[in-house]
Amino acid sequence: MGKLLMVCDSAATDKLQTLAIIASGMVTSDHEVVIFFMHDAVYALKKDAPPEPEVTSIYPEVAEKVNQARKAGNLLHWKGLLEDLKDLGDVEIVACVQITEILGLEKEDLHPMVDKVAGVNTLAEQAMLADRVMFL
């Protein structure tokens, strides 16, 4: 059908969870999804990334309910959801080469779901090929 490029530059749990949920809707509707991780988001892709903090919100009751759902297993973790999506449809996950170099990381240091490490030229190319571009 169509192609969505998602650009994520935040390692905030709520942003990563939102990214995965939107991607799931696109994949289950037969759309191609490319996710380009930049800045802090690349750090979240490390195999040995520290545990993520709980979701925060300006509305404490929202954060409390979301965190309860995560702990109860009623909200699939973003990494697990993205792994499942890669098995279901056309999903490509790219980590920014500049940030990986700054952090001293190789592709092997990143979660196995990462397809490649690439630069902004790849981001620009994917943006031109996409029907829509979304920043999170």
Q: How far apart are CA 134 and CA 136, in angstroms?
A: 7
CATH number of the domain to which 119 belongs: 3.40.1260.10
The tens digit of pLDDT for each residue in 15-63 reads 999 999 999 999 999 999 999 999 999 999 999 887 777 778 889 898 8
**What's the CA dihedral at 24, 29, 34, 35 to 10 degrees?**
-20
User: Phi-psi bin for 34: left (phi > 0), alpha (psi -120 to 50), beta?
Assistant: beta
Domain that includes residue 94, residue range: 3-135
The tens digit of pLDDT for each residue in 97-122 reads 999 999 999 999 999 999 999 999 99
Instruction: Give me the number of domains the chain comprises.
Output: 1
Q: Model-level pTM?
A: 0.91
pLDDT of residue 133: 96
